[in-house]
A and B are shown apart, each in its own frame.
Chain A
Amino acid sequence: MFENLQSRLESAFKTLKGQGRITEINVAETVKEIRKALLEADVNYKIAKEFTDKVKEEALGQNVITSLQPGQLLVKIVNDQLTALLGGEVAEINLSSSPNIILIAGLQGSGKTTFTGKLAYYLKNKKNQSVMLAACDVYRPAAIDQLKVLAEQVGVPVYTDYETKNPVLIAQTAIAKAKEQGIKTIIIDTAGRLSIDEEMMNEIYNVKQAISPNEVLFVVDAMTGQDAVNTAQAFNERLNFDGVVLTKLDGDTRGGAALSIKSAVKKPIKFVGMGEKMDALDVFYPERMAQRILGMGDIVSLVEKAQMVYDEEEASKLNKKIAANKFDFEDFYTQIQQIKKMGNLKDLMGMIPGVGKAIKEIDINDDAFKEIECIIQSMTPKERKNPEIINGSRRARIAKGSGKDVQKVNQLMKQFEEMKKMMKTVNKMQSSGRNMRMGFK
């Protein structure tokens, strides 16, 4: 449906290639692409703009590390910012009162009643609590029956009253009943309502005032578009809710609403709905959500890892050596160790968007480096520093020492020479301004 951010950035960054630094001018196009991607993921128009302005600020002047594309670096900045924005403080549900009173609110059809059932299931089975439900939606046809069915499925009591059309009264009575029975937590399902429906907003405000819940949760459909901000703000103004529940994430929506809501009301997302069944509830993971919004593979972790092991000083030393044709087996060995630090080769390749699935089918030998390491280790320090002295008899000795065929040693020597040549050309290209990729693709 949508192009993913990574591929968009790649094309946007054509202009950036060859520039070592991110500047106001060369970043503009890319920032525009990021904004587009956010909009396509349903992030609110204004929030997308604020967000990209921040990213731009962060990116300006950052060095583009030689082994990373500037595009990837920017993706990393975007992802970090996004994760930080979506995350923040830990967002456990507050269960410190006795009894706990949890009020559920939201637009029509967002998934409140279903979530009420799921939360009961969660508290009962994962937190070992006694739970009672209260049916305070007196409007929607069969709303009470719906909650009754769910309560039965979960195996918790539900307080219903088909006659009283007063949600405040129903809620109060339910709480009294729960106290009588020593029930630990009461969850109150309410009718769906529009934020501009003053009468209905007053109603839920009155329910809240009457029962002083220790937790008010705002339930919102993950597929919501630009309006998420208006609605969340309006509900928050009236209810000052404690957390957000994002439903229907089992769909394929990008879920930009999560970012919009989080930025607009600064309230934590506490749960996500992952299906219609009672156990389809999950806690919220900011990193996953960030990546979902951007629609990319784990490229970010790859970038992160590459950055972690990349030592700029060492790199510049190495570059000088390559330029002077002094690259030796010591350097080669160090390089291998660096690559290995980045993790399992198969995992690494799997992180590249598009490669991910394909790679699972192929068998990659994780010990690909072992043989090479083994041969290098059998060289004397002098040989490692001066590869040109490795003649026939030295090769035979190395082969013997490493337990490999001479052929393997010859092969490595040949590959090493070829690599040296290639590195020199690449090095020249780099200093002449062209950018070098990681070489995985």
Chain B
Amino acid sequence: MGFFDFLYKEKKEQLNKGLEKTKVSLFSKISKALLGKSKIDAAFLDDLEEILLSSDVGVKTTIEIINRIEKRATDEKFLGENELNKLLRDEISGLLDDNALVAKIDFDLTNAPKPYIIMVVGVNGVGKTTTIGKLAHQFQSSGKKVLLGAADTFRAAAVDQLKIWGTRANVPVVALGMNVDPSAVAFDTVKKAVDEQFDVAIIDTAGRLHNKVGLMNELSKIKRVMQKVSPDAPHEILLVLDASTGQNAFEQAKQFTAATEVNALALTKLDGTAKGGVVIGISNEFKIPVKYIGVGEGMNDLQIFNKNEFVDSLFGE
């Protein structure tokens, strides 16, 4: 059973042949590449290249992966099918950063500072607010006292949207209305979290394109203002990336990291046909772990990122 079967356990019946088709075609591609070949040859590498590039892994990272595999293949002659499979997985997941402290903090908040402050950032429409709703539900379900901060005071009905998520997850939301200074909302949220001993506070921010200097400065300011209340807040700066985004995600990671020192990634919309392969290169280059994945629009459609499953999903198994 592959990654997607696992994700789709509940929804499976509704799924049409469409998904099956994508799965089968990718799976058959890689097995064709693997089966019948006991070692790496040019045709195998071509197939691999196609799979990686069409999963948005990007030219640079694809070349890097292929070079590594080629090198290992010459070092270790005559690889069998299983070995090849393992080698592939090792080389790719080796690029995905982990072990950063932030990645270790789970929904139980073991060893986490209290309150644990999470600030959520990203470009427009990637799924920030939805991810926050899902996270709130997860923390709440593991018995934590959760607070949300509606610091997107710009996009139409953004505050209402977060409030609805607050109701769904049964957690309070700090909201000062629309068109107020988002830093003020962030300040109030962190203050309330400290004063009332919340375990975790999650702050939503407006979507912004990373090439807009003014908006990026605003983010830095929101962060600074929180530190007036809690000097090392925010503990987690979660950059949300949409799995369907292509190579531009690199620049997003770069610019958001420059503005706010992003230390965790969430990859949303993996329930679609997009593979999100661009995170491999991002995680490798910026040394930021992928922490969560979004696999649907429901409250439960959030999972802790698992490298091996992710790599398998690139190959449709």
B157 close to A (CB within 8 Å): yes
Q: Please name the residue on chain B nearest to A255 by beta carbon.
A: B248
Segment at the interface with B among A20-28, A226-234, A354-362, A399-407: A226-234
Quick one: which of A147, A227, A252 contacts B248, CB cutoff 8 A? Answer: A252
Size of interface on A: residues with Cβ below 8 Å to B: 54
Q: Please name the residue on chain A nearest to B18 by beta carbon.
A: A196
Mark contacts of B288-310 with chain A using CB atoms, 8 A cut-off: 1 yes-contact digit, 0 otherwise: 00000000010000000000000
CA distance A371 to B275 in the complex (A): 63
Instruction: Kindly list chain A residues whose C-beta atoms are within 8 Å of the C-beta of B317.
Output: none
B14 touches A199 (CB 8 A): yes
Chain B positions 7-56 with a Cβ under 8 Å from a chain A Cβ: 14-16, 18-19, 22, 50, 53-56
Instruction: Kindly list chain A residues whose C-beta atoms are within 8 Å of the C-beta of B249.
Output: 223
Asked whether A250 and B157 contact (CB < 8 A) given A1-B250, A195-B273, A276-B124, the answer is no
B209 touches A248 (CB 8 A): yes
Instruction: Kindly list chain B residues whose C-beta atoms are within 8 Å of the C-beta of A224.
Output: 244-246, 274
CA distance A142 to B278 in the complex (A): 31
A197 close to B (CB within 8 Å): yes
Asked whether A146 and B14 contact (CB < 8 A) given A42-B248, A231-B273, the answer is no
Interface residues of A, dominant DSSP: loop
B248 touches A40 (CB 8 A): no
A250 touches B209 (CB 8 A): yes
A225 touches B22 (CB 8 A): no
A439 close to B (CB within 8 Å): no
CA distance A256 to B210 in the complex (A): 19
A109 touches B248 (CB 8 A): no
Asked whether A107 and B247 contact (CB < 8 A) given A40-B58, A198-B14, the answer is no
A44 close to B (CB within 8 Å): yes
Instruction: Kindly list chain B residues whose C-beta atoms are within 8 Å of the C-beta of A113.
Output: 156
CA distance A46 to B155 in the complex (A): 37
CA distance A41 to B212 in the complex (A): 20
B246 touches A111 (CB 8 A): no
- CB A356 to nearest CB in B, in angstroms, measures 18
Q: Please name the residue on chain B nearest to A109 by beta carbon.
A: B125
Mark contacts of B255-297 with chain A using CB atoms, 8 A cut-off: 1 yes-contact digit, 0 otherwise: 0000000000000010111110010000000000000000001
Instruction: Kindly list chain A residues whose C-beta atoms are within 8 Å of the C-beta of B123.
Output: 223, 248, 251
Chain B positions 94-147 with a Cβ under 8 Å from a chain A Cβ: 123-127, 133
Asked whether A276 and B155 contact (CB < 8 A) given A221-B244, A225-B247, A251-B209, the answer is yes
A-side residues, CB < 8 A to B, are 1-2, 36, 39-42, 44-46, 107-111, 113, 117, 139-143, 145-150, 153, 194-199, 221, 223-228, 230-231, 234, 248, 250-254, 256-257, 276
B-side residues, CB < 8 A to A, are 14-16, 18-19, 22, 50, 53-56, 58-59, 123-127, 133, 154-158, 160-161, 163-165, 168, 209-212, 242, 244-251, 254, 269, 271-275, 278, 297
7 contacts between A and B (CB under 8 A): A44-B54, A109-B269, A146-B157, A146-B161, A225-B247, A252-B248, A256-B246
* In the complex, the 4 A-B pairs of residues with the closest C-beta atoms, listed nearest first: A225-B246, A109-B125, A42-B246, A141-B164
